[in-house]
């Protein structure tokens, strides 16, 4: 291994040239365990001067554990050299190193660093493409929209899922037709699930039919996400479909449907939601009580008062909140000044 030359230019009394030279020597030690510990020590110094040495080990060290550790420790930095080294490590022969590099790339915060990721998409394997798109997601880099749109047709479901995530975070309206198609027909549960969630950035009811369709998906996680998204969008035309979803075989879907109905605030759902106060899962009973409070119908007061004796304290608390909420709304209506007739 080529020796690392390190000349300290720091005016920090905690570190001197002797210490630096000793650490540099350990980074090239013949013992992989020594090199790995040296990587950790160098990274903990939080000094950019050590980054070239750590990046070099990530690219070239013969030991997989050393490379993996280097990939993990470089996640705190977003210099060009580090980003390029992490991108290259996505094709490492060692699974642990690839995964560590992918995870470190997700910690990038600077959109400028995100721009450096884009060229690495071309010709890359599916793991690399998916990892790069995942890293681009939270950077909200507008230039990532084009590659993400192209990736919606990728052969790999992992890549398609991450592409959906990028477009969802960007709230890219032009992607809605493709996202709608994926939500309806993609063969991958993960992709359909992601696409249904991404439809939550729609600004009108153009996605209503697709989300209602997703409420009948074969996979419960997709149905759950559809109910949650309908609640987020407050699409009142989905009321009947959401009421039907209350009878889903999976309680997670029932819970999200109840929550969504509460957000719609249509008192017509009062009876359907009230029936959930005897549901065997306490989380659902709690959500039903809270939803009844949102619906604000005084017809629910009797069942909510009965729920005050529920065996779960969280359900009892939710019932008290709902009763107070309905009472406050009723008081407001009664006390509101009436407009006199001419």
Task: Please enumerate in sequence order all residues whose Cβ is within 8 A of that of 105, keeping only pairs 6 or more positions apart, or say none.
Answer: 75, 83, 86, 87, 90, 117, 131, 132, 134, 135
- Band (pLDDT 50/70/90 cuts) for residue 10 is very low
Please report whether residue 274 resides in a domain: no
**CATH number of the domain enclosing 35:** 1.25.10.10
- The arithmetic mean of pLDDT across residues 20-28, rounded, is 93
Neighbours of 309 (CB within 10 A): 9
DSSP-derived letter for residue 296 is T
3-state class (DSSP) for residue 120 = helix
Please report whether residue 264 resides in a domain: no
Query: Quick one: tokens of 67?
Result: 């490379």
Residue 120 has pLDDT above 80, yes or no: yes
pLDDT of residue 339: 53
Within 238-312, residue ranges assigned H as helices are 239-245, 251-264, 270-274, 282-295, 301-307
- The arithmetic mean of pLDDT across residues 236-244, rounded, is 98
- The arithmetic mean of pLDDT across residues 80-86, rounded, is 96
Cβ density class 117-128: b for 16+ within 10 Å, e for less = beebbeebeebb
pLDDT of residue 6: 47
Number of residues that make up the chain = 342
Please report whether residue 101 resides in a domain: yes
- The arithmetic mean of pLDDT across residues 70-97, rounded, is 96
% residues pLDDT > 70 (the chain)? 90
Please report whether residue 200 resides in a domain: no
- pLDDT digit string, tens, across residues 122-138: 999 999 999 999 999 98
Please report whether residue 260 resides in a domain: no
Residue 320 has pLDDT above 60, yes or no: yes
pLDDT of residue 335: 54
User: How many domains does the chain divide into?
Assistant: 1
CA-nearest of 55, 50, 69 to 5 is: 50
Over its C-alpha atoms, the chain yields an Rg (Å, rounded) of: 28
Q: What is the dihedral of CA 318, 221, 165, 201, to 10 degrees?
A: -50
CA-nearest of 276, 266, 259 to 237 is: 266
**DSSP secondary structure string, 164-232?**
HHHHHHHT-GGGHHHHHHHHHH-S-HHHHHHHHHHGGG-SSGGGHHHHHHHTT-SSHHHHHHHHHHHHH
Which domain does 79 fall in, by range?
1-107
Please report whether residue 339 resides in a domain: no
- pLDDT digit string, tens, across residues 293-309: 999 999 999 999 999 99
Please report whether residue 1 resides in a domain: yes
Sign of CA dihedral 301, 302, 306, 312: negative
How many angstroms separate the CA atoms of 211 and 228, rounded?
A: 10
Please report whether residue 73 resides in a domain: yes
């Amino acid at each position: 291994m080529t020796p690392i030359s390190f000349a300290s230019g720091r005016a920090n009394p905690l570190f001197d040239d002797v210490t630096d030279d000793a650490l540099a020597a350990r980074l090239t030690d013949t013992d992989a365990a020594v090199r790995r510990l040296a990587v950790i020590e160098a990274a903990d110094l939080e000094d950019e001067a050590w980054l070239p040495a750590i990046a070099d080990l990530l690219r070239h060290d013969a030991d997989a554990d050393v490379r993996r550790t280097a990939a993990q420790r470089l996640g705190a930095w977003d210099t060009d050299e580090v980003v390029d080294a992490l991108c290259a490590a996505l094709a490492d022969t060692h699974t642990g190193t690839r995964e560590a590099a992918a995870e470190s790339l997700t910690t990038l915060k600077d959109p400028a660093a995100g721009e450096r990721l884009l060229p690495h998409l071309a010709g890359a394997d599916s793991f690399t493409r998916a990892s790069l798109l995942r890293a681009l997601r939270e950077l909200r880099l507008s230039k990532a929209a084009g590659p993400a749109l192209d990736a919606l047709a990728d052969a790999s479901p992992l890549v398609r899922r991450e592409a959906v995530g990028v477009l969802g975070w960007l709230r890219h309206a032009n992607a809605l037709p493709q996202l709608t198609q994926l939500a309806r027909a993609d063969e991958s549960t993960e992709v359909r699930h992601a696409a249904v969630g991404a439809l939550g950035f729609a600004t009108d009811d153009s996605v209503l039919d697709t989300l209602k369709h997703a409420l009948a998906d074969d996979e419960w996680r997709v149905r759950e996400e559809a109910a949650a998204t309908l609640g987020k969008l407050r699409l009142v035309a989905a009321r009947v479909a959401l009421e039907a979803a209350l009878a889903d075989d999976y309680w997670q879907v029932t819970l999200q449907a109840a929550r969504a109905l509460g957000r719609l605030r249509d008192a017509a759902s009062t009876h359907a939601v009230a029936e959930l106060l005897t549901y065997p899962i306490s989380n659902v009973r709690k959500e039903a009580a809270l939803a009844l409070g949102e619906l604000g119908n005084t017809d629910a007061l009797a069942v909510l008062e009965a729920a005050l004796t529920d065996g779960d304290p969280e359900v009892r608390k939710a019932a008290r909140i709902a009763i107070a909420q309905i009472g406050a709304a009723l008081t407001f209506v009664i006390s509101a000044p009436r407009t006199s007739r001419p």
